[in-house]
Amino acid sequence: MLERVSNKLNTYDFIIIGGGATGIGIALEASARGYSVVLLEKSDFTKSTSSKSTKLVHGGVRYLAQGDVGLVREAVVERGLLNQNAPHLVKNQSFIIPTHGLFDELQYTVGLTLYDLLAGKLSLGRSKRISKTKTLKRISTINPEKISAGVVYHDGQFDDTRLAINTLQSSEEMGAIVLNYCSVFGLTKNNEGKVTGVKFKDEESNKEYVIKGKQIVNATGVFADDVLKMDSPNAEKTIAPSQGVHLVLDKSFLPDNDAIMIPKTDDGRVLFLVPWHNRVVVGTTDTPIEKESLEPIALEEEIEFILNTASRYLTKAPKRSDVLSVFAGLRPLAASKGEGKKTKEISRSHKIFESKSGLLTMVGGKWTTYRKMGEDLVDKTEKNNGWANIPTKTKHLKIHGYKENVDRTNPLYFYGSDEEEILKLSRIEGLDESISDSLKVIRAQVVWAVRNEMARTVEDVLARRTRCQLLDAKESMRMAPVVAEIIAKELGMDDAWQKEQVESYNKVTSNYILN
Ligand SMILES: Cc1cc2nc3c(=O)[nH]c(=O)nc-3n(C[C@H](O)[C@H](O)[C@H](O)COP(=O)(O)OP(=O)(O)OC[C@H]3O[C@@H](n4cnc5c(N)ncnc54)[C@H](O)[C@@H]3O)c2cc1C
């Protein structure tokens, strides 16, 4: 793809800066409509916020409580479409809200019935009140003293980075050029000040490229200001990041199939406990942070808050030593302008900002609505540039790997239709040896990730092509040398490269471990 992109004669319809959920959704829609697309990611795809979500495909029950019906309606429709388009990665997840007293029961039953109605035909199942006995039967680890009954509702649950990789594969199959480890460091402009292209550097070779595009899109999440500064050096700061942390626990803390949603913790936040890849993800928090970074670090008070709240609702209190991994992601919030004005969250619904140069910046939204965000951005581009409107082509587009009725007890289930190819590779090249019995990863997955999923580093494989870093950080560090050796063989790298890879993986991953 680097070779293709270096052809200076091309002018691409879209150049997208940023390979998180937003950029990936735009690349899918634009390539599905037949446009030529280049997507550039400075690190690995979803390295930032998009690999650190709560893993929910949801309308957002809490936004309904805030009266944002339009936002919830849009998200529950997208939830239903994603469930149809990527059934190997998205599943219907039942949640139970533990209630305290009749008012709670009524409030949540009525509210969640409205939530179901908003989804119409795309509803994932009816909400209902269940008795205390039934609640205790369904969630064997819930503290009986904390509940009077329960309300069950349904949302979607997914694997964020696996969806990103498969969506990028779909875009690539429709002609898009998608490149990781390529960072944009400047924009090119014509005499009228209109942006005409980007300058980027291949981080592996340090080679610089200049490419031309008709529509340049800034989809860099919490880094949006960096690109806005490239467009206009005096651009004001618009983003103030806020951090959300999750802890991962062993399945014994929530051994049954239902997730728990605690709608009002002591400080008014929502807390989820969700089964994920045979573990439990617990979170999240909302803490203002000074500076954006690709590897935000969980704060002690965030960890304590999650452990304390979970302990109150579970019969077995999770301790620090039970935490298999801790990960943090950043939300782009609007920076406060002047004293006295409160920071206002812009991340709930997505927004498109137009710069005088024609640059479009998309921020906010959520993973659940990534397809719709792509549709809106491409519609806006067509309108702004006077191009004919091509109706969206992604509503019913099956995502790469599409497979119905996957058996989720199969350790390779999330590859969907690619599983067969991986097993074939494993048979032909003798790659069936396990590299982690507890995480159930085999050598073939590493080779597959390098050959077919653009993995370039140990971290790409352990954090994002498989989810070992988030599922058991210590075990993933133990796996790192073997993974480095397999990748080195594939990419023709030497021992020094392997050593450096393992060291840098361990350095990053030590932040995912609680001492
Ligand atoms: C704690 C938390 C939990 C969440 N949980 C959920 C959930 O359960 N469900 C849901 O639907 N949504 C959830 N969200 C929202 C969702 O995760 C985000 O909306 C989404 O991931 C944002 O994607 P993005 O592409 O805008 O940003 P990012 O993921 O940050 O991607 C931006 C990318 O741009 C790249 N970049 C930056 N500068 C450059 C440059 N100069 N050149 C090239 N590339 C560059 C970065 O490396 C990065 O990869 C959650 C968000 C948070 C913070």
Nearest CA to ligand 1 atom 23: 21
At 403-436, the pLDDT tens digits run 999 999 999 999 999 999 999 999 999 999 999 9
Instruction: Retrieve residue 171's tokens.
Output: 């875009």
pLDDT at 344: 43
Say yes or no to pLDDT of 340 above 60. no
Amino acid at 121: K
Say yes or no to pLDDT of 346 above 70. no
The CA 313 to ligand 1 mean position distance, Å, reads 30
Helix 21-32 vs helix 160-173: crossing angle, to nearest 10 = 30
- Answer whether 379's CB lies under 8 Å from 389's CB: yes
At 83-142, the pLDDT tens digits run 999 999 999 999 999 999 999 999 999 999 999 999 999 999 999 999 999 999 999 999
Say yes or no to pLDDT of 338 above 50. no
Pocket of ligand 1, candidates 40, 47, 49, 230: which has the most ligand atoms within 8 Å of its Cβ, to mutate?
49
- Answer whether 490's CB lies under 8 Å from 481's CB: no
The CA 316 to ligand 1 mean position distance, Å, reads 33
Contacts of 107 (CB under 8 A, 6+ apart): none
pLDDT at 232: 97
Ligand 1 contacts CB of residue 167 (under 6 A): no
Q: In percent, how much of the chain has pLDDT > 70?
A: 97
Instruction: Retrieve residue 276's tokens.
Output: 């994920």
The CA 211 to ligand 1 mean position distance, Å, reads 25
Provide the CB-side half-sphere exposure for 483 (13 A, CA).
Answer: 33
Q: Report if pTM > 0.95.
A: yes
Dist. CA 203–CA 224, nearest whole Å? 20
pLDDT at 333: 83
pLDDT at 476: 98
pLDDT at 199: 98
Say yes or no to pLDDT of 330 above 70. yes
Provide the mean pLDDT of the chain.
Answer: 95
The CA 10 to ligand 1 mean position distance, Å, reads 29
Provide the CB-side half-sphere exposure for 232 (13 A, CA).
Answer: 13
Dist. CA 513–CA 325, nearest whole Å? 6
Ligand 1 contacts CB of residue 183 (under 6 A): yes
Instruction: Retrieve residue 141's tokens.
Output: 């680890």
At 444-469, the pLDDT tens digits run 999 999 999 999 999 999 999 999 99
Ligand 1 contacts CB of residue 109 (under 6 A): no
The CA 420 to ligand 1 mean position distance, Å, reads 31
Q: By three-state DSSP, how is residue 440 classified?
A: coil
The CA 21 to ligand 1 mean position distance, Å, reads 6
Dist. CA 363–CA 240, nearest whole Å? 12
At 483-507, the pLDDT tens digits run 999 999 999 999 999 999 999 999 9
Nearest atom in ligand 1 to 18's CA = 34
Nearest atom in ligand 1 to 46's CA = 49
Ligand 1 contacts CB of residue 59 (under 6 A): no
Q: How confident is the model at residue 336 (pLDDT cuts 50, 70, 90)?
A: low
Nearest atom in ligand 1 to 185's CA = 41
Ligand 1 contacts CB of residue 241 (under 6 A): no
Among 98-112, 183-197, 205-219, 444-458, the range scoring the smallest mean pLDDT is 98-112
pLDDT at 335: 74
Ligand 1 contacts CB of residue 285 (under 6 A): no
